[in-house]
Amino acid sequence: MAMTPATLAQQVWAHWQSGQPMPHWAAADRPQSRDQGYAAQAELLACSGQAVAGWKIAATSAAGQAHIGVSGPLAGRVFAHTLREPARAVSLAGNRMRVAEPEMCFRMGQDLPPRPQAYSQAEVMAAVEALHIAIEVPNSRFADFVTAGEASLIADNACAHEFMLGPQAPDDWRTLDLAAHAVSARVSPANATAWTRVGSGAAVLGDPRIALTWIANELRALGEGLRQGQFVTTGTCMPPLQIQPGDRVEVDFGRLGRMQAHFTD
């Protein structure tokens, strides 16, 4: 990797701000491993000057992994400046992915710091304070994100872009089978017929709790960890919803809650 992690991050951040597509890095410059990708991603903190509000998990389904050519899930930071109020319109300017993803999102009530041994799912879930529903609107800075490669996509912050944190689920959410929990979404275009899609928590690595445990251990191994007050959005519960400016999305998580999003140019 000829470019330093800081230089890679500076290029990602410059294209993030401008909205202009970024070409692939030359073979000698791009990160060569997941660890190198995460090292570049970490440098985005200095470039952006933003606080980390939470974390996202990309590619939590086999279909999603195959689509972007990665071997497994990817972790990315959700910066505070990317949070959007669900009641306000979200601009799709500069967004090449143009999808919305209904997700289950855990808010941490305790730290899960780095340590030598892996965290169990029971330990991870005991550290959770609340469950929220959410909509992620991902994007890549790369002009061709499908062939960018795993390490480069990690450096691109695992395609984190904009995020809407929805309402907190009722306190009895822990009694539910989140893997079997049904989720539906309705997309209402401005000048076309509305359409619906259904999914469930099983789309997220088989169970959102498995996904949360995965990222806790991914960050543990990186010396990062999860912190109290941060949230983790665990991945889309259905194939991503294709959206265009003018579209409205309504997501129904049943007893966990409902939320809407509206998109503009």
d(CA 187, CA 8): 36
Residue 206 Cα distances to 60, 93, 160, angstroms: 9, 33, 22
Q: Is the pTM above the cut of 0.95?
A: yes
User: Do 133 and 238 form a contact (C-beta atoms < 8 A)?
Assistant: no
User: Do 46 and 6 form a contact (C-beta atoms < 8 A)?
Assistant: yes
Residues 6+ apart with CB under 8 A from 107: 128, 129, 130, 131, 132, 168, 229, 230, 231
pLDDT at 1: 65
d(CA 78, CA 73): 16
pLDDT at 62: 92
Q: Which two tokens stand for residue 43?
A: 């440098």
Measured N-to-C along each axis, helices 34-42 and 5-18 cross at an angle, to the nearest 10 degrees, of: 60
pLDDT reading at 25 higher than 80 = yes
Radius of gyration of the chain, Cα coordinates, nearest whole angstrom: 17
User: Do 61 and 139 form a contact (C-beta atoms < 8 A)?
Assistant: no
d(CA 129, CA 151): 32
User: Do 154 and 238 form a contact (C-beta atoms < 8 A)?
Assistant: no
pLDDT at 224: 96
Q: In this predicted model, what pLDDT tens digit does every residue of 77-122 receive, in sequence order?
A: 999 999 999 988 999 999 999 999 999 999 999 999 999 999 999 9
Q: In this predicted model, what pLDDT tens digit does every residue of 26-85 receive, in sequence order?
A: 999 999 999 999 999 999 999 999 999 999 999 999 999 999 999 999 999 999 999 999
pLDDT at 2: 80
Instruction: Give the largest CA-CA distance in the chain.
Output: 55
pLDDT at 190: 86
Domain with residues 51-264, CATH architecture: Alpha-Beta Complex (3.90)
Q: In this predicted model, what pLDDT tens digit does every residue of 156-176 receive, in sequence order?
A: 999 999 999 999 999 999 999
d(CA 171, CA 159): 31
